[in-house]
Structure 1
Amino acid sequence: MTKIEKARGAAARLVESPPGWLERLRADEGPVALGVTWLDAAAISDEEDGVFDGIMHTEATAEYVREHRPHMVRVASGPQYAGMNGLEGEAAWYVDMRRPERLLLAPSSSYPPFLWIPAGDTVDGMRGALGGLFPSPKPTRVTLPKTARGFMGYAGQIGVPNVYSGEFVPIDGLELDRYYTMNTFTELSSWGSAIIDDPYPDEFVPPIQMMAAARDFKKQSPGVPAMTWRTAASGSYLSIEAHQGRLFVAEARYRPSPNPQVIEEMNAEFGSTFPTDLPVDVVGALIGFDFRPLDLWERELAVEEEPGHILGKMEIAVALAHGDLDAVDRLRPYFRHDAPGVRAALMNFALAYNLDSLLEELVLTETEEEIAEQLHRILDEGTGNSHPDIFEEGAAWDEDDEFEEDDEDE
């Protein structure tokens, strides 16, 4: 049986014998107050949601969609929500005809089923599923109370599909913007690290004016270059940072999701390591990338003995600790490694992030004269920034690196 035949059969079964709880909800005024519009029998029978979602699926997530999507029957739409520049999105509600005892909420019909939110069979359940989504007004940086950071991979070893050819290409600013323009989880345009808050207006702006403004919005400040997008459903901020010209870190600023079971089940299904309180649109925007938080690296560092591996893990850990003084403090013991060569390399990591206070502590305990002199010279001259802007088109990786689509992280 084809996927289309499965989908039509599932819809026919629901139309012929709808669950009693669904009939009760249809007669209730509560869903209407939430902005939900029920589909009639004809619309359910004719509904054929496409599965194109613009996502950089893994083999496992793509197979999950192929297996599960044909059994899902859309029964309602809404609420609608405002995107950037006057564009609108719309939520969708489904019944899984293998388990027709509850509704499932998709913030958009193009979300994969593993990111749909269980909504039970009551108005309260629907309201709970909508919790944290479609905020009005949209949150700003200071009203997004939580931060999650994860290592995505190395430049030259990860990429994104080119929107024209579909082939994987190294990451730069142009390719990332193109990818997220096609991605269902983010609003259309990004801004650079020189901009603190979302600079884009909600109301319609003529394209020519928007293009002119966007050039200024994408500027980078000294330090770690970053590109940030607002996510479409929760209004979170998703930043992708380029550290030391060689590795990528994702940072999410968000309001904790009241439905953590969705990400818990996704992590269990795919072996991913996303914080479970992340909103589903943040996680969706990171599908296809690794997201390995600092606590995983700290656990590995605690038992690591090989100096080269310590340096590799510390380079990632220090990048993930950027902006978090408590995290930097937890990493301090590693900067006092017994081997002088390791200490010297770690000193360069501290230098890259302007960790002057840490360098001042290290110079007091350094026993190697050459390293101590170098530390004194650095502190006398002042620390600088050493993070090239690899978001410039074509600058994503060193010419000596080899771009490989399927490389594993170290």
Structure 2
Amino acid sequence: MRSEIAQAEQAVRARTPPAAGKQARHVQQPCSRDPKTLRRFGHLTVPCLPGVRDGSHALSRFIERLDLTRRGRELTRISYFADSITSGDKITFTLRNRFQQAFGCGGPGYVAVYPLRPWHYHAQVGLTLSPGWRPYCPISHPSRDRRYGFGGIAIGHQGTGNTVKFQLKSAATSFDVVQIHFLRHPEGGAFAVVAGQKRVRVVETRGDKFREDFVRVPVPSGRELVLESVSGGVLRLNAVFLEKEGPGVVVDSISLTGARYENWSSLPADHLRAEVAARAPDLVAFQFGLNESDTGVEDNYRDLIIDFFTRMRATRPLSCLVVGPSDKVEKRNGRYRTLPVILEIARLQKEAALAAGCAWFDTLAAMGGETAIVSWYEHRPRLAMGDLTHITSDGGELMGNLIYHDLLLAVGSL
């Protein structure tokens, strides 16, 4: 895998980025000739954008932004949403390291503001909360307003003195700016941003109506950041991102155990629009399906995914990637078989992705095909757990490398 990745990175380095404000003509040719063109790179399929006549494809925005990063001008943001497959920063940790080593460090990215489960954590950032914070999450702590923030986990508190502390772990990438998403409302409180034991800024969240808002605060480079409530109002924090001003790449790891596409598609339209616009991702990747396999999928599953990504892409220019479900196996009569519902989910997700103008990564094929997770479990070190559903940290590294490799094949060719 190392040699294949090195070759893909070399191909990207050999590709000359277009001059500022211009696009390379070869980027547009295939889709301009035939809008039904599908380009394949390993296990990655890249369709043309539906209804767009300039020849753009599903990864155009991502590649254009990465070109600017390579020219030393901009930060490229990748936001990776998933269920428990990425818990503990699996897959995303590898993607972050790979992209940052190749294109520059953009910082740790998204950090969930509440540890819903012991395995919900960022590999590079520690999180410590004072008592009193109330979590909001569509899976286990629903709220009536359904405003859970960019990563699906928000926290609330009334009063002063409550803190959220972010501390870099050893060998973690540094950051020099923090972006904080919050809910502004008539009873809003205020919070202080503390870095290097100094109050860098106090943010007032009171407003005349309920609406999403955010601030970007430059902070001294250091190992620790604290958010502290400093007024008696009601404070609602929706998301926190630690990053560098750029150039470089930042990879957000957004993992919710038990989540499925329905949880994201059912968010209020204005909330989704505001959160995506504020974060401004250049590539959003979604990997779901394991939880849908427990209950089966609705008749409108394909249309639900198409509608969701259509709304996502209408928010701002971005590329989207649908990462198919990983293998999930059962044993019957002494023989292993991949659950038929996993195959059905993968088929529907692929159809939806291509129809919505998103790239598609065939995870099951990349793992080795049906029942491949059995071999992953038998491998030493183990790549999968004994439930033949979830992957280990080593498995996450391999899967992250597989996705990274195929993305680079596309970047170097399109």
The structure that has the greater radius of gyration is 1
Higher normalized helix content (fraction of residues): 1
Interval containing the TM-score (normalised by the shorter chain): under 0.3
TM value normalised by structure 1? 0.24
